[in-house]
Amino acid sequence: MKNLDVLAIGDIVIDAFIRLKEAEIMCDENKQNCKLSMDFAAKLPYESVEICNAVGNAANAAVSAARLGVTSGLLTYVGGDQNGKDCMTSLERDGVDTTLVHTDTDKKTNYHYVLWYDVDRTILVKHEKFDYSLKEVTDRIVVPKWLYVSSLGENSLAMYEQISNYLADNPEVHLAFQPGVFDMKQGKEKLSFVYSKASAICVNVEEAQKILGESSRDIKTLLRSMASLGPKIVLITDGFEGAYGFDTSKPEEFWFMPIYPHTPIERTGAGDAFFSTVVTCLSLGKTLSEALTWGPINSQSVVQQVGAQKGLLHREKLEEFLKNAPDNYKLKQI
């Protein structure tokens, strides 16, 4: 039996970053609903390609937690190919427990193409249909303090039911839920039993609107509405505008945390870095207020590198950034 502070659960992928040279961003008058535009049926030059192994929301969270000094593991599935072996090597190098990384020799490891233009990206995603199971956790091969669940594939409903049953049987275990593409496609009604058991949930503004079917961007409205689904703590990120937190045990307090000053190169993994850092802080017994000051520091480091993991900080370096933070890097109520 292995005791873990954080066990991340979700699909692992390889990201191939293709840096575009010739493209155009087209947005509406409010700079929303932006589209990436390129010439059709043409040969387009690109600047570079960079391969990032063992990424994906859950894998990023496991690596983040390990670098911050807590014990972390990953429950995920790889194919019986070289890509799968490369993912295993990468996780082990970062000190992530790979006991629950399963190899399915008949399938391919998930592979995404990231169209990188300016400081942002559009990701082409495809997830293999793996046979998810929580059996080894229910059999107590590993015993986690926190489950960090994100970005399972389209066939994940049965796995979520297993997770829900496990949490009911083990109320001391906390659930951190970061809805992925297919989770949001399922709809909040179908996954209501997951939202209701979450100790903490994190989405960005656009994801919150999509989950709720809400057109308003009013932060307090979105925080309250997400909280009404059941999670105890709601976190909403808003890119360069900062991040917001709401603890349902203190319903009159709405927190805002600005970004840590930085110049981004590309923004993949910023949300993963923020939420995984907050969850790691909570697993260490820190308050939400403390955790909110840690999260943006890891985010700013990540977006100054290519990919979601290169910039993830070790705890000593993160605390150094916090010590030397500018005067305006302060948590405040809104």
pLDDT band at 119 (very low <50, low <70, confident <90, very high): confident
pLDDT digits (tens, 9 = 90+) for 139-155: 999 999 999 999 899 99
Confidence band (pLDDT; 50, 70, 90) for 184?
very high
What integer pLDDT is reported at residue 32 of this predicted model?
79
Give residue 201's pLDDT: 98
pLDDT at 331: 97
pLDDT at position 29 over 80: no
Token duo for residue 16: 């191939």
Q: Mean pLDDT, to the nearest integer, of 306-316?
A: 97
pLDDT of residue 288 exceeding 80, the answer is: yes
Residue 44 φ/ψ region, left for φ over 0, alpha for ψ in the -120 to 50 degree band, beta for the rest: beta
Q: Residue range 260-273: average pLDDT?
A: 94
pLDDT of the residue at 30: 77
Predicted confidence at residue 253, as pLDDT, reads: 95
- Counting residues of the chain whose pLDDT is more than 70, the rounded percentage is 100
Using alpha carbons only, give the angle 183, 186, 187 rounded to the nearest 5 degrees: 100
As given in the structure block, the two tokens for residue 123 are 């990701």
Q: What is the mean pLDDT of residues 125-137?
A: 94
Contact indicator for 39, 22 with CB cutoff of 8 Å: yes
**What is the pLDDT, as a whole number, of residue 23?**
93
Residue 80, classed as helix, strand or coil, is: coil
Token digits of residue 251: 């319903």
Q: What is the pLDDT of the chain when averaged over all its residues?
A: 96
Mean pLDDT of all residues in 218-232 = 98
pLDDT interval class at 31 (50, 70, 90): confident
CA-based nearest residue to 181, from 266, 227, 123: 123
Task: Check residue 120 and give its pLDDT.
Answer: 86
Residues, the chain: 334
pTM of the model: 0.95
Rounded average pLDDT over 206-223: 96
b/e map of 179-190 (b: 16 or more CB within 10 Å)? bbebbeebebee
> How is residue 255 annotated by DSSP?
E
For residue 93 the two structure tokens come to: 């190098």
Q: Which of 2-6, 27-31, 55-59, 297-301 has the lowest mean pLDDT?
A: 27-31
DSSP states along 149-188: EE---TT-HHHHHHHHHHHHH-TTSEEEEE--HHHHHH-T
pLDDT of residue 33: 83
Residue 4, Cβ density class (10 Å: 0-12 exposed, 13-18 middle, ≥19 buried):
buried
Domains and CATH numbers, the chain: 2-10+57-101+133-333 (3.40.1190.20)
pLDDT at residue 91, rounded to an integer? 98
The reported pLDDT for the residue numbered 325 is 97
